[in-house]
């Protein structure tokens, strides 16, 4: 569970004062078949519509629950990585996989499941020079897309039109770590920085 001890003094003051909180959802898609680099595109900037996209994209932000346990070796458990589900307005069709000009276009020999979602939460810090947004970093979620579920509707002409898309993603690296079969070599200590090793990009908060 995240604690106030992981917040900065300015963030604690801002939250206690009831300052605005902003969420942002971004899509990362590979630039090439080798996935050596990614392009980020903001799906929803969280508090105001994107300048080039007047639609408030995320209509249900969803939630995620972090669970930590340390059972006895004699206890049979099946750890699971954190999954995050949120719902987007897709009335313009930009979340379809094959829409020209959409979020998943152009695809470079990959599927949406090879893309990532980043969900960030920030709090407003007010000062005489204006408003700045301070990211609450330990609440950032970075996950692989598991599935896109499109739900369409009909219009007065009995035509099928886009409606919403539900995006399900799994915490990046977490699934691989939890499903891994441990070996004797895993008893060797590995240096870590902020809970991240060279192999896995996930933390538990």
**CA-based end-to-end distance of the chain:** 5
Q: How far apart are CA 165 and CA 87, in angstroms?
A: 6
Task: Render each residue's pLDDT in the chain as its tens digit; 205 residues.
Answer: 344 568 899 999 999 999 988 899 999 988 888 888 898 999 998 765 445 555 578 999 998 876 666 666 677 766 677 889 999 999 888 999 878 888 887 765 568 888 999 999 999 999 999 889 999 988 889 999 999 999 987 776 777 778 999 999 998 866 666 656 666 666 666 555 554 444 444 444 4
Structure tokens at 203: 């933390």
Q: Say how many C-beta atoms besides its own lie within 10 A of residue 52's C-beta.
A: 6
Domain map of the chain by residue range? 21-181
Q: CB of 102 within 8 A of CB of 93?
A: yes
Question: So what's the pLDDT on residue 69?
Answer: 63
Question: So what's the pLDDT on residue 171?
Answer: 87
Question: So what's the pLDDT on residue 117?
Answer: 94
Question: So what's the pLDDT on residue 98?
Answer: 79
Structure tokens at 159: 């035509």
Closest CA to 122 of 40, 3, 41, 15: 15
Beta-strand ranges (E) seen in 58-128 are: 58-60, 83-89, 116-127
Q: CB of 39 within 8 A of CB of 29?
A: yes
Q: How far apart are CA 146 and CA 172, in angstroms?
A: 11
Q: How far apart are CA 102 and CA 100, in angstroms?
A: 5
Structure tokens at 103: 């979020």
CA angle (85, 81, 178) in 5-degree steps? 165
Question: So what's the pLDDT on residue 201?
Answer: 46
Q: CB of 19 within 8 A of CB of 127?
A: no
Q: How far apart are CA 54 and CA 48, in angstroms?
A: 9
Structure tokens at 126: 């007010």
């Amino acid at each position: 569970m995240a604690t106030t001890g992981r917040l900065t003094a300015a963030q604690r003051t801002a939250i206690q004062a009831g300052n605005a909180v902003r969420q942002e959802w971004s899509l990362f898609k590979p630039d090439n078949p080798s996935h050596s680099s990614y392009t980020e595109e903001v799906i929803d900037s969280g508090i105001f519509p994107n300048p080039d996209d007047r639609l408030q994209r995320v209509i249900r932000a969803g939630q995620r629950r972090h669970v930590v346990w340390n059972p006895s070796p004699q206890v049979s458990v099946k750890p699971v990585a954190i999954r995050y589900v949120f719902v987007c307005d897709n009335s313009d069709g930009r979340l379809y996989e094959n829409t020209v000009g959409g979020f998943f276009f152009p695809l470079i020999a990959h599927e949406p499941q090879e893309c990532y979602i980043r969900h960030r939460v920030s709090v407003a810090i007010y000062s005489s020079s204006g408003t700045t947004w301070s990211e609450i970093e330990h609440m950032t979620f970075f996950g692989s897309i598991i599935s896109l579920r499109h739900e369409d509707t009909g219009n007065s002409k009995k035509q099928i039109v886009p409606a919403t898309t539900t995006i399900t993603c799994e915490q990046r690296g977490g699934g691989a770590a939890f499903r891994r079969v441990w070996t004797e070599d895993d008893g060797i200590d590995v240096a870590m920085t902020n809970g991240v090793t060279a192999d896995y990009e996930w933390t538990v908060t």
